[in-house]
Amino acid sequence: MDSAILALEDGTVFEGRSFGAPTERSGEVVFNTAITGYQEIFTDPSYTGQIVVLTYPQIGNYGTTPLDNEAAKPYIEGLAVREFSRITSNWRSEEQARDFLSAAGIPVVSNLDTRSLVRHIRSMGAMRGVLSSIDLDPASLVEKARMSPSMSGLDLASRVTTPHIYDWTKGVLPCSPSERVKADAAQRYHVVAYDFGIKQNILRRLAHVGCRVTVVPALTSAEDVLALRPDGVFLSNGPGDPEPLTTQIGNVQRLIGKTPVFGICLGHQILGLALGGKTYKMKFGHRGANHPVLNHLTGRVEITSHNHGFAVDPDSLSATDIQQTHVNLNDQTCEGFRHRSEPVFCVQYHPESAPGPHDSHYLFDDFVQLMNDFNPALAREKAGAR
């Protein structure tokens, strides 16, 4: 088996074996602590521009299936793992994970000391790197890492968004035939979802709670969205730095007060900026499926799924207008807020849970309730239709 090297911009080099495509890719090196859900991680557009280190020691042992894709293709730049399983054992598997990544041109380095690598990133912070199985000169790769572009200051959302408007027609979450018929019949709320890098399980979850979803490109104007006569607007997850997204921020500002708005991840950050707040880059971000978040509204702790490297500064938001609703118990970062007078709320984490726990599914029900509260006539119409 061929060798592969992951070189960081600070001169640190990790050597291992090549398991993916025989190529070379650069990106920001980050880590994810989830135990399962590697395929969802591979295909999450929020990982655009990033080389992902998975802390769970064995990856690939249950293969891949198209049903678990969060997008049409993998978006990670590269993958670093301790061990890439040679055996796939799962009745749902249709393709080995290594073949899935190789076909997409994604390089993988295995047999690598991921514990040491993650400890280094935690200490020094996320940094640029190059993963290569074709250039095995450490000094050359370190220099390439130093010359690679930074993630900050780029509009990555416009790079990964859908090029055209479309209606979500792939149905709801996997369920029994009777539940599916019931869910399909209940899709009476029209939600327009901004695609900043949207995950398919978000669309399934919206459909599951009775929403007919129209997905629009990231730069769609507020006026064009309102012309679709939505009952609510959803702001999706997505990659990179939120501050360069000035057009998207301006569109959201013009939507506030005109329709209910629910945002997650990048959508949460865009809402923070649209409401006059500020964001900042975290040292190494939150990426995993076990982050404890305190819900101030209920007093309950939710175990949540995360993928972000930027956060909203809660002190930059007006306490008169904004109520912080969720906080991360590991580092006290802002995990959610709502507007005190407008129909707006958001969370930083991923309540659609792909992968991850289901503690936060209630937020999609809260969105439906917000649409009902904003338009009582709509609520009566929906109730009558049932």
Q: Find the DSSP H helices in the chain.
A: 38-42, 97-103, 114-124, 138-147, 157-160, 177-185, 200-208, 222-227, 246-255, 266-274, 362-374, 376-385
Residues of the chain with pLDDT under 50: 176, 185
For residue 81, the Cα-to-chain-centroid distance in whole angstroms is 20
pLDDT digit string, tens, across residues 33-44: 999 999 999 999
Extents of the domains making up the chain: 3-147, 157-385
Q: What percent of the chain has pLDDT over 90?
A: 87
Q: What is the pLDDT of residue 1?
A: 61
* Joined tokens for residue 91: 């009745």
Residue 197 phi, psi dihedral angles, 5° rounding: 135, 40
pLDDT digit string, tens, across residues 195-213: 999 999 999 999 999 999 9
Domain 157-385 in CATH 3.40.50.720? The answer is: no
Overall fold of domain 3-147: Glucose Oxidase; domain 1 (3.50.30)
Q: What is the pLDDT of residue 275?
A: 97
Q: What is the pLDDT of residue 172?
A: 64
Tokens 């009476």 -> residue:
188
* Contact status, residue 40 vs residue 68, Cβ threshold 8 Å: yes
CB count, 10 Å around CB of 265? 30
Question: Which residues are identified as catalytic?
Answer: 265, 350, 352
